Amino acid sequence: MRASMEIRKCICMRDCYDRCYFYAYVEGNKLIKVEGSRKHPITRGFLCSKGYSLPKLVHHKDRLLRPLLKDNKSWKEISLKKSLEILADVLREAKPHRSFFLSYAGNMGLVESLSLKALFDMLGFYIVVPNLCSTSGNNVLIKIFGTYNGKDIEDIVNRKLIIVWGMNPSWTNVHGMFLINEAIKRGAKLYVIDPNVTATARKAHRHLRIKPGSDVFLALGMAKYIIEEELYDKQFVKDKFIGYEEFFRFLSRLPWSFIERVTGISFEGIAKTAYDYATLKPNWIHIGYGFQRRVGGGEAVKAIAYLPVLIGDPSAFYYDFSPEVDLEIALNVKNSPRISFSKFIELLDEGADLVFIMSMNPLYTAPDSKGLKRSLEKNAEYIVVYDCFMTETASIADLVIPSTMFIEVEDVALSYFHRYIGISEKALDPPKEVIDAFSLAKRLGEMLGVNYPWKSRRAFILDILRALNVNYDNIKSKWYVKITHVQEANTARYIPLKKTYQNIPLGNREKDEFYLLVLS
Ligand code: SF4
């Protein structure tokens, strides 16, 4: 290593399960290379290809380096100062009940994702919560268990059977796959439930290629078999599963012929999988977001969640992780209305004074992105995009403000997969006319005369850590600490499936086809 090279301890803030810890090698404000931390219990010395490509991304020739103002359908470069003046003027004019703030997970650093949202909350804007990935599943798990946290993911290596359901961790959660491989080396079996032959399915000891959208009924079929064969933990169910009698009655009405036809899996296939699940213990269900992004996704998570309850190990699953502190409430920035993405689309039809978009590219990722584009162009008076690149969404904006990348700021990292919280160091100075979210919020607050409560980025970090009960000096010196006080699922309540899934048709072929339609 050259003497002029410096090493910074950083954390990948992409929207990804793994939240990798890595060393950034920097020379003269240039990121030379990145290297995964060997010590970190999850990162284990390697990154994915996106992680390794970070030097290319940060110094990419197409990166936005100056604000852009739409001028007669073409772009004009303006100074950062000028762009903030324009935005402040627009904000002064915008009526809060006709103005929207949209952000998602482009940069999951807690300061970057919360500081601007805090300002727009103070301004009374609608805050759009566009979470397609896990919200409905989280909501049902909270109803069943009072939490959506299963066991610590690091425990997966001790399991005898791992069922990966609707997920392809070989591609999307490479460090999760590493842990699964470790479990396999110790003798665990891997079963995959997925309509597609994924890279993970190819490694599995068994692959159930169910029909798309039939996850609810495969889970119910497994539960039915476990109950009929009396393989469930009777004492646990009696003591800790409130309303189990109703669940059992419901399953007794569910015909095997229907389950087989809907899922495309034979009785023998379901029975074998259910038998192994009930007898190879301890085990684990790794629930993905795949089936959750469609009609009935939350119901599928619900049906799957009853399986670990039946075998007396209710937290033996992973779906999502959170220390369960609502940071927006803790920071007192959850006062303006929160609306779903579909409600935003509805309200947009009535016209909008301002739509501010950051950390997402909805014209590429949202359902019906063409319709969204038409509606934004027709109904939004002014669109501001805060991003590092000229995305599809930025291209229809009136003003684009260039954002920093996560490696250019100090920030706090939480994972929705593992339980480590860390501080990511600032490795590079951002380009001169590029601004981080905290500075943007603070400067706009000053220009608008809003009493933005945080005087410095560090003050914001300290407030976040206080809410999470973590000491800054401790975490800074160690890079990361593990969150140990986590409420995990331990008792369960039966929440009936939604009506459309309740009225199981008995021998009526036409009705069966209707349910297939509901599911697809
Ligand atoms: S696996 Fe995820 S967290 Fe790790 S480097 Fe890749 S994108 Fe970043």
The answer, yes or no, to whether any atom of ligand 1 lies below 6 A from the CB of 51, is yes
Residue 519 confidence (pLDDT): 46
453/37 Cα distance (integer angstroms) = 35
Ligand 1 center to 36 CA (angstroms): 10
Q: What is the mean pLDDT of residues 192-206?
A: 97
437/56 Cα distance (integer angstroms) = 22
176/158 Cα distance (integer angstroms) = 14
Assess if residue 180 is contained within a domain. Answer: yes
Assess if residue 384 is contained within a domain. Answer: yes
Both 171 and 262 in one domain: the answer is: yes
Is pLDDT of 514 > 80? no
What does each C-alpha distance from 114 to 103, 123, 359, 383, 440 come to in angstroms? Answer: 10, 14, 11, 20, 12
Range in 101-105, 404-408, 511-515 the model is least confident about: 511-515
Assess if residue 45 is contained within a domain. Answer: no
Is pLDDT of 450 > 80? yes
Both 264 and 385 in one domain: the answer is: no
Both 153 and 274 in one domain: the answer is: yes
Ligand 1 center to 18 CA (angstroms): 6
Residue 176 confidence (pLDDT): 97
The answer, yes or no, to whether any atom of ligand 1 lies below 6 A from the CB of 461, is no
The answer, yes or no, to whether any atom of ligand 1 lies below 6 A from the CB of 47, is yes
Assess if residue 476 is contained within a domain. Answer: no
At 3, the amino acid letter reads A
Pocket test for ligand 1, best of 13, 14, 58, 411 (most atoms within 8 A of CB): 14
Both 226 and 278 in one domain: the answer is: yes
Ligand 1 center to 109 CA (angstroms): 13
Is pLDDT of 97 > 80? yes
Q: What is the mean pLDDT of residues 268-297?
A: 91
Q: What angle do CA 179, 292, 340 make, to 5 degrees?
A: 120
| Residue 53, Ramachandran bin (φ over 0: left; ψ between -120 and 50: alpha; else beta) | alpha
Say how far residue 95 (Cα) sits from the centre of its chain: 31
Strand partners, 406: none
Range in 167-176, 260-269, 295-304, 501-510 the model is least confident about: 501-510
Assess if residue 87 is contained within a domain. Answer: yes
Nearest to 205 by CA among 227, 190, 187: 190
Residues 6+ apart with CB under 8 A from 203: 170, 190
Contact 156, 183 (CB under 8 A): yes
Assess if residue 438 is contained within a domain. Answer: yes
Decide which of 324 and 25 is more confident.
25
* Count of domains observed in the chain: 2
For position 122, which CATH number holds? 3.40.50.740
Q: What is the mean pLDDT of residues 454-468?
A: 97
Burial call 471-505: b when 16+ CB within 10 Å, e when fewer: eeeebeeebbbebeebeebeebebbebeeebeebe
Contact 8, 467 (CB under 8 A): no
The answer, yes or no, to whether any atom of ligand 1 lies below 6 A from the CB of 12, is yes
Ligand 1 center to 20 CA (angstroms): 5
Pocket test for ligand 1, best of 10, 18, 40, 417 (most atoms within 8 A of CB): 18
Assess if residue 3 is contained within a domain. Answer: no
169/118 Cα distance (integer angstroms) = 34
The answer, yes or no, to whether any atom of ligand 1 lies below 6 A from the CB of 177, is no
For position 172, which CATH number holds? 3.40.228.10
Contact 259, 512 (CB under 8 A): no
Both 336 and 255 in one domain: the answer is: no
Q: What angle do CA 384, 388, 389 make, to 5 degrees?
A: 85
170/451 Cα distance (integer angstroms) = 47
Is pLDDT of 505 > 50? no
Closest atom, ligand 1, to C-alpha of 22: 5
Residue 500 confidence (pLDDT): 55
Average pLDDT, the chain: 93
> Which residue's alpha carbon is nearest to atom 3 within ligand 1?
19
Q: What is the mean pLDDT of residues 131-149?
A: 88
Structure tokens at 115: 């500081």
Q: What is the mean pLDDT of residues 320-333?
A: 91
What does each C-alpha distance from 118 to 110, 385, 386 come to in angstroms? Answer: 12, 17, 15
Ranges assigned E (strand) in 18-168? 21-27, 30-36, 68-71, 74-77, 99-103, 126-129, 161-165
The answer, yes or no, to whether any atom of ligand 1 lies below 6 A from the CB of 18, is yes
Both 243 and 392 in one domain: the answer is: no
What's the distance, Cα to Cα, between the start and end of the chain in Å? Answer: 56
Both 361 and 256 in one domain: the answer is: no
- Structural domain boundaries enclosing 436: 68-131+327-407+430-456
Both 111 and 143 in one domain: the answer is: no
The interaxial angle of helices 341-348 and 369-379, nearest 10 deg, is 40
Percent of the chain with pLDDT over 70: 96
Both 384 and 266 in one domain: the answer is: no
Give the DSSP H or E segment for 207. Answer: strand 206-208
Residue 508 confidence (pLDDT): 52
Helical H runs in 193-266? 199-203, 215-228, 234-240, 244-252, 256-263
The answer, yes or no, to whether any atom of ligand 1 lies below 6 A from the CB of 407, is no
The answer, yes or no, to whether any atom of ligand 1 lies below 6 A from the CB of 19, is yes
94/449 Cα distance (integer angstroms) = 15
Torsion angle, alpha carbons of 210, 216, 221, 223, to 10: 130
Contact 295, 217 (CB under 8 A): no
Contact 215, 81 (CB under 8 A): no
Decide which of 509 and 41 is more confident.
41
Ligand 1 center to 437 CA (angstroms): 22
Both 127 and 189 in one domain: the answer is: no
483/468 Cα distance (integer angstroms) = 9
Burial call 244-280: b when 16+ CB within 10 Å, e when fewer: beebbebbeebeeebbbbbbebeeebbbbbbebbbeb
Residue 296 confidence (pLDDT): 76
Residue positions counted in the chain: 520
Residue 291 confidence (pLDDT): 78
Both 439 and 344 in one domain: the answer is: yes
Nearest to 386 by CA among 444, 445, 437: 437
508/140 Cα distance (integer angstroms) = 30
412/475 Cα distance (integer angstroms) = 10
| 382-409 per-position pLDDT tens digit | 999 999 999 999 999 999 999 999 999 9
Is pLDDT of 121 > 70? yes
Q: What angle do CA 288, 293, 296 make, to 5 degrees?
A: 100
Assess if residue 512 is contained within a domain. Answer: yes
Is pLDDT of 516 > 80? no
Both 196 and 225 in one domain: the answer is: yes
